[in-house]
Structures are given as C-alpha cells and as structure tokens.
Amino acid sequence: MKDLNYKSRIKNALKGKRTDKIPVASFTQTGIVDLMEKTDSFWPKAHSDPEEMAHLAISGFTIAGFESIRVPYCVTVLAEALGCSLDMGKIDKQPSVISHPLSSLEHEVDIPEGFLESYRIPKVIEAIGIIKDIFGENVPIIAGFEGPTTLASDLIGAERFLMSFIKNPDYVSEVIRSSNEACKLYAKELVSAGADIICVADPVASPELISPKMFDTYIRDSLNELSNGIDSLSVLHICGNVFKILDSMSRCGFDALSIEEKVNDIRKAKEMTNKRARLVGNIACATTLFNGTPGMVRSESQHSIEKGIDVLAPGCGLAPRSPLENIRALRAARDEYFLESE
C-alpha cells in the first residue's frame, strides 16, 4: 500500500479502513517540559497565549514524533468559561479548578450569551488557526476538552458531585445535560476553526468513580448526543479500567475509544466493542512513559500493536516531566515493528 500522509493514515485508522501502518498519535495532552525548553514555550503562558500554545503543540509533531498535533493541555477551558476559578499551575503542573459556582446545588448551569468568545476559548481557536496555516491538510489537528460529566463535576465540586449523584440524581442529571450543551457548542466551534478530530475526555465518568449502572442511566445518552453533534471524527477518553463500561462506551457513537493500560486485553476489548469503535492507546503514562526507559516503551508498544490496537498512543495525558526520549520511542517502536514485518 502506498505511504499515506499523516492525516489520511489516522483518518483511515479511526474509520476502520486499511492503513499502510498504524498511526502514532496523542489524543490527550502532549505538553512536556523537555518540549517547552526546546521551543521556549512554557506553561502556564502556553495555556492562554495562542502563539505559545501552537508552538508547543507543533513540537509534539516535529520533535516528539507524534503524527498529529493536539491542543490544548488541560480539561478546564469550558469550566473556566462557565464560571469556575482556576489555579493556572506552573511549568510542570496543569491548571486546576478551585471554585465551583454550583456548589450550593441551587442553581442551573448558566451558558452566557457569547461564552464562546470568553476566557481561553478564543485562544484555543486562534492556536488551531495558526497550526492550520502552517501545515494545511497534511497533519491532523486534534482538539480536546472536558466531557459533560467532568464539566458538571467541576461546576458542582467533585466530592459534592459524587454525593449528589446518589442523593439528588435529578439535579446532577440536569447539570450534566446543560454541560453537554456547552460541550456541543464548543465542539462545533473547534471543528469550524479547523480541528480534524475531537477528543472528549470525561475522566469523572470512569467506573472507578461512578457505577456502570449510573453511567448507563445518566451519562451514556449525553455522550451519544454529543458525538452525534460533532461534525468530524471523534474520540472518547475515559480514565481507568473501563472494561465494565466498554460495551456502553462503544455505543456512544464515537469513532474510537482512548484507553489506558488497565484495559490490558486488547483482543477482548475489541470483541466487546464489536467494531462499533476503534481502540487507541494504551501505553502506560506513569510506569512506562514517565518512569520507564525507551526499551520499555518499545516493548509495550509492540505488544499493543501485536494485540490489535488501532492507533498507538499514550493511555492518558503525558506527565509533564516525561522524558522526551521515551515519547520518541513510541514512533520508533512502530517503525521497527512494521520494518520487521515487511
């Protein structure tokens, strides 16, 4: 098969079509300190300055070897736009939510008129435009944001959110529904700006926090509605061991599911999804990409390829202090695997 360009390769893979080789990408955050130092684009400035955001993101492609470019570097952009205060972090710490406008459990989600022009949303849009101007149609741009459950949790406060899911599920369900409306509007704006793939990261929807029954009752329909409203390829990322909800996740309408290393039986996972969604991942971020060696990365990567992963990728967001040599080993492992198989 003739070599494909980066965008064609990943699009084919996410659609379940033939590719010349498995793509190497990151659907979660790619900002690491080694790349910040090489580009002189540092957190926290790169979270809100479009030029810095774009330059750091591009280095994930030009220096780290991902066959994609991903922005931004956190899951707090929508939360901030809807009224949460943030700690913007530091060079090796991502932004985090520090105030919750719905903590009293008395108010509805307020989506202000023109919220897409507020806070960092226009900055992300501008960064996508910068990247698009440089690379055109050759390299896929992945834009990510927090899913409706995680956004609802940020608005209410994590502990109160989880408690209220049991004591006041109707209220929580309504906050998730309204949060989903904000997600749909933002996704549309990102695609219009030039994003080729949307990654919805919804870590609070994990079965390690919320029961599979609650996922099916209160979350699945919102995710399905969200995916139906995304006019591009889409990927759903939920952290942790998602085997218990993998079937439900595959019925949410996303083209692919981003999984961690805890989903360690890829063949079984593919049987459970029954071709409804492709699988991307599942290289361990903490034990391998952060604390491991390039040899460990190559071994784990080739194992995932052998078992049938559709896109080789980190299983979650990269730890900021992950060594660049370990990230580069992902693509090297893929290249070695396909060279040996020729």
Contact between 272 and 250 under an 8 Å Cβ cutoff? The reply is yes
State mean pLDDT over 168-194: 97
What digits encode the pLDDT tens for the residues 53-108?
999 999 999 999 999 999 999 999 999 999 999 999 999 999 999 999 999 998 99
In percent, how much of the chain has pLDDT > 70? 98
Which pLDDT tens digit goes with each residue over 227-250?
A: 999 999 999 999 999 999 999 999
Find out whether 148 and 180 touch, Cβ atoms under 8 Å: yes
- Type of residue found at 98: I
Taking the CA atoms of residue 289, residue 69, residue 242 and residue 89 in that order, the dihedral angle to the nearest 10 degrees is 70
Q: pLDDT band for position 338 (50/70/90)?
A: confident
255-267 pLDDT, tens digit each: 999 999 999 999 9
DSSP state letters, 7-29: HHHHHHHHHT---SS--B--SS-
Q: 12-38: per-residue pLDDT in tens?
A: 999 999 999 999 999 999 999 999 999
Cα 312 to Cα 333: distance, rounded to the nearest angstrom: 10
Residue 214 has pLDDT above 60, yes or no: yes
Paired residues of 198 in beta bridges: 143, 234
Helices (DSSP H) in 194-254: which residue ranges? 212-214, 220-228, 246-250
Q: pLDDT class for 1, splitting at 50, 70, 90? A: very low
In this prediction, residue 76 carries a pLDDT of 98
Pairing of strands 86-87, 96-97: antiparallel
Question: Residues with Cβ < 8 Å from 39, sequence gap 6 or more?
Answer: 55, 56, 58, 59, 63
Please, what is the Cα angle at 300 between 266 and 340, to 5 degrees?
A: 95
Q: Which domains does the chain have, with CATH numbers?
A: 22-341 (3.20.20.210)
Bridge-based pairing of strands 141-146 and 69-71 is parallel
Question: SS3 for 123?
Answer: helix
